[in-house]
Amino acid sequence: MIPVYKDKNELGQYVALVLDKAIYSDRAIMKTCYVFTDRYYIHVTSLSAEQYQIYFYSKAEIAKNTQMESLPIQHFLEELNDNQLRQILLAETQVVHEEIVRKAFSPAAQLASREYAQDALSIMVSAG
C-alpha cells in the first residue's frame, strides 16, 4: 500500500504520498505532476535513494478548521499508472515507431536532395 498522509507546514495544508522509484519512472511521475498543476501546487522531493515524496497543496482557498481531501491522490495514482504504461509501451514499440517515421518521410528526403542539387541561386549553400 502506498503511504498517504495529511499535514500542515509553513506553506499550508497538504496531502502527501510516497512513491517507489523502482516502480515509477521519473518521466511518468513528472508528466503526472504536470497534469495536476492547474489545481495544486506540487512539490516533489527525494525522500531516499528508493523513494520520492510528493506534496499536494491546494490552489483553492481551504476554509479554517477544514481538512484537505485525499481525493487528488486517487486521481494522481490513476494518471500515474497511465503515464507509466505509456512509457513501457513507447519503449517496447520504439523501433517500429522509428521505422514507420523513416518510411513515411523518406520520399521527402529524396525530393529535398534532388532540389538541393538543382539550386541555381545557391540558396542552400552556406555563406561561409
Query: Does a structural domain hold residue 48?
Result: yes
Mean pLDDT by 10-residue block, N- to C-terminus, for the chain (128 residues)? 86 92 95 94 94 92 67 91 95 91 78 62 65
Return the closest-CA partner of residue 33 out of 46, 44, 23: 44
Query: Does a structural domain hold residue 25?
Result: yes
pLDDT at position 64: 63
Whole-angstrom distance, CA of residue 109 vs CA of residue 113: 6
pLDDT at position 114: 60
Grid coordinates in use for 64? 479554517
Structural domains of the chain, count: 1
Whole-angstrom distance, CA of residue 123 vs CA of residue 33: 46
Query: Does a structural domain hold residue 69?
Result: yes
pLDDT at position 5: 87
Query: Does a structural domain hold residue 37?
Result: yes
- Please state the pTM of the whole predicted model: 0.71
Query: Does a structural domain hold residue 110?
Result: yes
Domain residues for the domain of 84 are 4-117
Whole-angstrom distance, CA of residue 64 vs CA of residue 33: 26
pLDDT at position 18: 95
Radius of gyration of the chain (CA): 24
- CATH number of 18's domain: 3.30.70
The pairing of beta strand 40-46 with beta strand 51-58: antiparallel
Query: Does a structural domain hold residue 128?
Result: no
Residue 92, SS3 per DSSP: helix
Query: Does a structural domain hold residue 123?
Result: no
pLDDT at position 33: 96
Query: Does a structural domain hold residue 122?
Result: no
CB burial of residue 43 (10 Å; 0-12, 13-18, 19+)? middle
pLDDT at position 106: 79
pLDDT at position 32: 97
